[in-house]
């Protein structure tokens, strides 16, 4: 009954293509911070609603803007001159069905702080940030839709599986920087890794902020920068089983000694001075930015997990793609795309498309049918994806 | 000398693929308004700098957030209850090299109003909006780079040419709504067109706000909605030379009469009540959102046109793709991708890639060389693209 | 029945005291602008309520803060660098008794602009100001009281009549500057007059901003400053029938020529650069600041004219004092003071006191009784004062 | 050399007058909170400047606005729905003479939090407040004056000593509520005491917020309210050695049981819901509001302690009045008034006036001369007052 299409493709396999570009913004990047805050607000708001009303009320908190502060950085320290402003927008229901007021603003501000505390070791939201909530009610026309589990927008989601070798390594190097290396080196969380493969040659260009309070002078900065570069190189080479070129902090000015000429931060993020951020401007639900892959421009973070197709269909597409590849050994890669139409039930997309990459020239009809069945199963139960999101069992950025 | 790669592909031609999805947000969509404001600020700031200092100073105004107002809508009118908040972030140089203060905030606020006045017929920025500028100085490390014409970020741009039939028709139907139909029907500018092609069948799902002040009741609303639907159908069928399914305002509730159950606005944009917006969340430099095409997630709008590769490389890629297709009759389509590395000169990308779709099985070496030469020419003179942007000779969203 | 007390005093008559200090902030002073905006909001909100509901709903808009902008001033012009921020606080009812939303924020912002347009000739609220409304609902406990016409606060009002000679002349010189002289000289509205009388000698120290766009250089500035000083001197001497010392712009630095060393403005108010303002920090309901007279610290401007004793009792006291002096030729001066108690009816003050200055040594009992009767009449009908306020028939600052 | 005038008066002694009104807003009243924040900012900024530059730089932080939050109060608890907004305005120097940036905004926000933490036991500035700093640079013309110790404004200060019996008791009862009783009863800090004396009869009308989290129902509320009323009565009667009428929370609605009908707060201040605040709208430097005493309308809190006459002259007047009364046993009361003129040295007021109340009919010439000498000594050394302010040895509100 559902409009499901399964196709095969013979395009060159991603790892065999001559050029590939993959990027990931780390957890402390201003765009990632906004994504994380937006999603945390949606989660906390959803939990509040479930606890007090037994259901999730309509909301979309997928607009958060981070306005950079100002800082005076020196070797050995520095001073924050202006706080980082976090401007929460979005829509939420302000009153429960029984008429009780919902502390929307307080939930949102609290969620933003919780996310920053969990993510950043040297950024104190109370001390360094000024978090304001401008969120209001949604349009009356859209508020109802959440309960009916119909699509609240004409939108689509798309995802592929598995990741390419370069995709994997960019993801893993970023994780390495955000989780492992920060325990060994004086670095912040606002890292960014840009991977490029031209034929067999892989280049990773990394931005890694050092912590001003722990760096006494330019020489020490260089020492650490070299250590970081070598650590990444070793880590990436092991992942990719081939030589990798690694560049760290290419914007540094080699001819100057001043703290302005290198990448130093007080708090671990460039958001403290000069870099703004916004939701939906960074990583996709795969955790990556992949120009040569079909992607959705919808921000998944912050949207309500019940009816917002821009969120649900992206997650569902990734889950279905994974399920197909795991179930069917002769499918090397699956790309799943789902298109909704506003007002129609969530489990009835306008079209659901799986493009499969067979190992070998063609794919057996049975495999196609199996893929269609898997996709059909996932579509039949949107609540499964909702639960994954609510339980934070999937990444969204 | 430049790292230019020209490849051919034999993937199925876009018009021959079984499924295609294309979307465009109209000029009055909150995301498009933010894009337009961001770019207008960059232009006005650039012109101010040129007039007073002879050069464009460092800036990036690619973060603008629109927080929806609140409105009480009735048939025949309504009341704005809360203004639309426009929160301008971004970075600019606040002082000229000779020490004169630059009225950054005033330029930005003025530019935002100018864009809204030019775009929206029923939205008065002075009356309906509250526009605040939070923009500050950039990080010292990045400020200098603008003058040296080196890449200020590790980023990439990518674009294809020509547009597919569906892409063309989505672009054209949106233009038709924003420019022609609003003179004939009581509609606002916040339109959105989602096009889907499954095999030969094309569906256009359109959101078109009607103006509350000009609609007396539900019957009249339906009358206009039908007229709009028919006008789009006729227009699109002529473009596509095939039957098209057109849906307009699918979120309307057919079982209710209240003004809340249909898509009515006072000002022509859903930003007046319930829909927030942000830069870089909508159309790409092609004017479209195209999930099955390689795209950049960088927002072009608002970035400085001198050194920001996220802006320059996207525009340059589109110009080069157009030039290649126009010059080489045996090239059916060109996809150009450029990858920068922060700190390196703009005209020396890490890699420049043209993927060409030959008419016929293969492409002559001469055509490959010609394509490389065209790409090389465009790269050799980034000033050409800068001038196109400054003169508003290219669209950015 | 009312607790009315009439006393006489033999203290020296104000004109006979050796020292007197009187000040008035002109209409363009940041504090006066805030007072004017607050009152205009209360008026416009009251009119909206009357028109839509037939009654005035609870409100208090007596908190408005003006945050100075920033300007770069030159002879012959200058540039506004930062807008003047006007931050409206206060409380209002957001919904009519029948459930219709009240566009509180839009009324408040519109009122602020209307006041600025009516007051300032060179300040354009749309161009130079950023007006935001933070007003919300009041505490539930206080909302009801407006309908019952009981005192909403324990507060008092006090006023005297007639004005002393110095008071009269400060009031009149300020009016002269704000209304007459600005048609003859290139001056703004942010004037301030401080009058001091030591024995018979009167000194008026005046701050009078000149308009930068109309002043070419320091010499021309001095020329105008001298003309202003002479015009004030002539005007004040005529009023006071005695010599007056007049000083204008005493903060000017005589040893410098720069535009920073004199009092120049673009818009006519120091609020454009460096001087903040707030409600209730300037003139009392008499229009003056008079340290040697009993005064209330309550801000009258912006408060609701139905139940707020801090507003009503100050106005009522002045009206009653005037009425007493006009009716009783043997009363040289009346000082009326009214003290409320929260929760008690407005027409039942805790105490109402009239202190009368007889011409001659004592006052006849009949005059005392007549004064008590006049005061009683005014108290018996608070609606009379409410009407005066609503019709703008009395000044409040 | 200084223009000092000493006069005597035979007006009735304050304690002998038939009517007296005296008010004090407690430390948690929104106006007092703003005063306290303003002064704390001035102190912290001054200390920063002294530590880093050896001098106090120009500033005036005498504009702070508190915008009430919103709260849903129940017996036993409640929820904050909207944070309390604290909007800091004012002017400060942003750069040291040697060019180092001063973290103006961070000092101001930190100072506001410090004051709230020190004053309020149940209000957490991080959790309940949203504190923003809009302070900027001052006008160039005024910035210099701080170093020259000339008056930066034409202003005056005035104060009397000693306090009347009623003044003393209002001050002491408020202190008792803010310091002692809050350890015994579940009350907040936002108390207000309005004292009225009509002939010998004294009435104290007190507003005392109870803490919602500690009050289970209306009966318990009444129990505590009665205990508070009795405690005040006992305390006041002892002070005044006469019977006192004490009213507590007169706005309570006796006919209702709901938490809205009584004075309950979560945080101890009405600023959490419905009551805004501003600097300079409450207590004078005496700690009191005294309509029948000469007073200055200048806000002392937040102004710079080096050159702002509106601050210095009020404090200096009080110190001098105290010194005169302490030194001269035949002076029952002294009222000191100082008038500056902008641009003139601080120690050269336009006029300095001491009005003395002799015990007996007249005052000896020697006492007049002694009073003039005491006033002269205080004027000769403005640094003495500056030091008292900087060391927080005097109250300002």
Q: What is the pLDDT of residues C350-370, one digit of tens each?
A: 899 999 999 988 899 999 999
pLDDT of residue D144: 46
Classified as helix, coil or strand, B293 is coil
pLDDT classification of A242: cutoffs 50, 70, 90:
confident
CB atoms within 10 A of CB A310: 23
Cβ of D126 within 8 Å of Cβ of A130? The answer is: no
Determine what percent of chain D is predicted with pLDDT higher than 90.
Answer: 83
pLDDT of residue C148: 55
Classified as helix, coil or strand, B196 is strand
Which residue of B70, B98, B104, B106 to mutate against C (max C Cβ within 10 Å)? Answer: B106
pLDDT of residue A144: 45
**pLDDT(C145) > 50:** no
The interface predicted TM-score (ipTM) is 0.94
pLDDT of residue A140: 60
What is the rounded CA–CA span in Å between residue B283 and residue B304? 19
What is the rounded CA–CA span in Å between residue A21 and residue A291? 7
Average pLDDT, chain C: 93
pLDDT classification of C144: cutoffs 50, 70, 90:
very low
- Preceding peptide of B124 cis, ω within 30°: no
**pLDDT(B143) > 70:** no
What's the gap in Å between the CA of D346 and the closest CA on chain C? 13
Q: Please, which residues have CB within 8 angstroms of residue B81's CB and are 6 or more apart in sequence?
A: B69, B70, B71, B72, C101, C103, C104, C105, C106
**pLDDT(D145) > 60:** no
The answer to whether chain B touches chain A by having 3 or more C-beta pairs less than 8 angstroms apart is yes
Q: Please, which residues have CB within 8 angstroms of residue D113's CB and are 6 or more apart in sequence?
A: D125, D126, D129, D131
Distances (CA, A) of B321 to B9, B305, B361, B379, C269: 15, 19, 20, 12, 56
Determine what percent of chain A is predicted with pLDDT higher than 70.
Answer: 97
Average pLDDT, chain A: 93
Question: Number of Cβ pairs closer than 8 Å across A and D?
Answer: 45
Q: What are phi and psi of A260, to 5 degrees?
A: -70, -20
Chains touching D (at least 3 CB pairs under 8 A) are A, C
pLDDT of residue B144: 46
**pLDDT(C112) > 50:** yes
The mean per-residue pLDDT over the stretch D100-124 comes to: 97
A81, A101, A126 ranked by CB distance to D103: nearest: A81
pLDDT of residue B139: 65
Q: What are phi and psi of A345, to 5 degrees?
A: -60, 150
What's the gap in Å between the CA of A51 and the closest CA on chain B? 25
Q: What is the pLDDT of residues D225-242, one digit of tens each?
A: 999 999 999 999 999 888
**pLDDT(C323) > 80:** yes
The mean per-residue pLDDT over the stretch B79-89 comes to: 97
Residues from chain D contacting residue A130 (CB–CB below 8 Å): 109, 130-132
Q: What is the pLDDT of residues B232-253, one digit of tens each?
A: 999 999 998 888 999 999 989 8
Q: Are the CB atoms for A45 and A108 separated by under 8 Å?
A: yes
Helices (H), C149-259: 165-175, 218-240
**pLDDT(B194) > 50:** yes
pLDDT of residue A138: 72
Residues from chain C contacting residue D89 (CB–CB below 8 Å): 65-68, 276
pLDDT of residue B148: 56
Torsion of CA A321, A327, A332, A335, to 10 degrees: -20
Distances (CA, A) of C280 to C158, C162, D38, D90: 15, 23, 17, 17
- The domain segmentation of chain D, as residue ranges, is 15-25+164-278
Question: Number of Cβ pairs closer than 8 Å across B and C?
Answer: 45
What's the gap in Å between the CA of A276 and the closest CA on chain B? 6
Cβ of D5 within 8 Å of Cβ of C21? The answer is: no
pLDDT classification of A168: cutoffs 50, 70, 90:
very high
Q: What is the pLDDT of residues D337-364, one digit of tens each?
A: 999 887 888 999 989 999 999 998 889 9
The mean per-residue pLDDT over the stretch D262-276 comes to: 96
Cβ of B81 within 8 Å of Cβ of C72? The answer is: no
The mean per-residue pLDDT over the stretch D245-263 comes to: 92
Q: What is the pLDDT of residues A173-221, one digit of tens each?
A: 999 999 999 899 999 999 999 999 988 899 999 999 999 999 999 999 9
What's the gap in Å between the CA of D130 and the closest CA on chain A? 7
**pLDDT(B47) > 50:** yes
**Residues of B numbered 169-228 whose beta carbons fall under 8 angstroms of chain A's beta carbons: which are they?**
192, 194, 196, 198, 203, 205, 207
Share of chain C residues as helix, strand and coil, in percent rounded to the nearest 5: 40, 25, 40
Q: Are the CB atoms for A303 and A291 separated by under 8 Å?
A: no
Q: Are the CB atoms for A123 and A269 separated by under 8 Å?
A: yes
pLDDT of residue D139: 65
**pLDDT(B9) > 80:** yes
A109 in contact with D at a CB cutoff of 8 Å? yes
Q: What is the pLDDT of residues B146-183, one digit of tens each?
A: 455 677 778 899 999 999 999 999 999 999 999 999 89
The mean per-residue pLDDT over the stretch C93-121 comes to: 96
Q: Are the CB atoms for A306 and A146 separated by under 8 Å?
A: yes
Cβ of B82 within 8 Å of Cβ of C100? The answer is: no
The mean per-residue pLDDT over the stretch B187-209 comes to: 95
> Which residue's entry shows tokens 């209730």?
C280
Pick the CATH number of D15-25+164-278 from 3.30.300.340, 3.30.70.1140, 1.10.3720.10, 3.20.20.20: 3.30.300.340
The mean per-residue pLDDT over the stretch A300-326 comes to: 95
What's the gap in Å between the CA of B346 and the closest CA on chain A? 13
Residues from chain A contacting residue D259 (CB–CB below 8 Å): none
pTM of the model: 0.95
- Preceding peptide of A359 cis, ω within 30°: no
Q: Please tell me which residue of chain D has the smallest CA distance to C197.
A: D351
What is the rounded CA–CA span in Å between residue A335 and residue A163? 11
Q: Are the CB atoms for A27 and A36 separated by under 8 Å?
A: yes
pLDDT of residue D342: 79
């Amino acid at each position: 009954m559902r409009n499901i299409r399964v196709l095969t493709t013979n395009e060159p396999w991603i790892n065999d293509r001559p050029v590939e570009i993959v990027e990931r913004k780390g957890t402390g990047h201003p765009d990632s911070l906004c994504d994380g805050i937006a999603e945390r607000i949606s989660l906390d708001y959803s939990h509040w609603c479930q606890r007090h009303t037994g259901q999730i009320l309509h909301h979309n908190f997928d607009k958060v803007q981070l306005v950079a502060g100002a800082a005076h950085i020196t070797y050995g320290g520095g001073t924050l001159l202006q706080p980082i402003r976090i401007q929460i927008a979005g829509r939420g229901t302000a009153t429960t069905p029984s008429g009780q007021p919902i502390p929307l603003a307080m939930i949102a501000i609290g969620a933003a702080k919780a996310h920053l505390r969990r993510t950043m070791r040297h950024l104190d939201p109370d001390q360094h940030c000024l978090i304001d909530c401008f969120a209001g009610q949604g349009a009356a026309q859209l508020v109802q839709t959440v309960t009916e589990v119909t699509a609240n927008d004409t939108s689509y989601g798309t995802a592929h599986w598995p990741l390419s070798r370069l995709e994997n390594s960019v993801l893993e190097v970023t994780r390495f920087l955000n989780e492992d290396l920060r325990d060994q080196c004086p670095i912040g969380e606002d890292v960014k890794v840009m991977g490029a493969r031209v034929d067999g040659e892989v280049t990773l260009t990394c931005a890694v902020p050092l912590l001003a309070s722990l760096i006494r002078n330019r020489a020490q900065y260089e020492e650490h920068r070299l250590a970081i570069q070598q650590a990444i190189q070793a880590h990436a080479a092991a992942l990719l089983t081939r030589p990798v070129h690694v560049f760290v902090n290419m914007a540094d000015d080699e001819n100057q000694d001043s703290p302005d000429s290198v990448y130093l931060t007080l708090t671990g993020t460039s958001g403290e001075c000069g870099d703004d951020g916004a939701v939906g401007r960074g990583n996709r639900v795969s955790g990556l930015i992949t120009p040569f892959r079909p992607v959705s421009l919808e921000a998944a973070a912050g949207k309500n997990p019940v009816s917002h197709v821009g969120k649900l269909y992206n997650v569902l597409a990734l889950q279905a793609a994974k399920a197909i590849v795991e179930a069917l050994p002769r499918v090397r890669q699956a790309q799943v795309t789902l298109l909704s139409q506003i007002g129609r039930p969530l489990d009835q997309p306008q079209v659901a498309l799986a493009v499969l990459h067979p190992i070998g020239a063609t794919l057996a009809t049975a495999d196609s049918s199996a893929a269609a069945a898997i996709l059909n199963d996932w579509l039949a139960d949107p609540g499964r994806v909702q639960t994954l999101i609510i339980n934070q069992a999937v990444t969204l950025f």
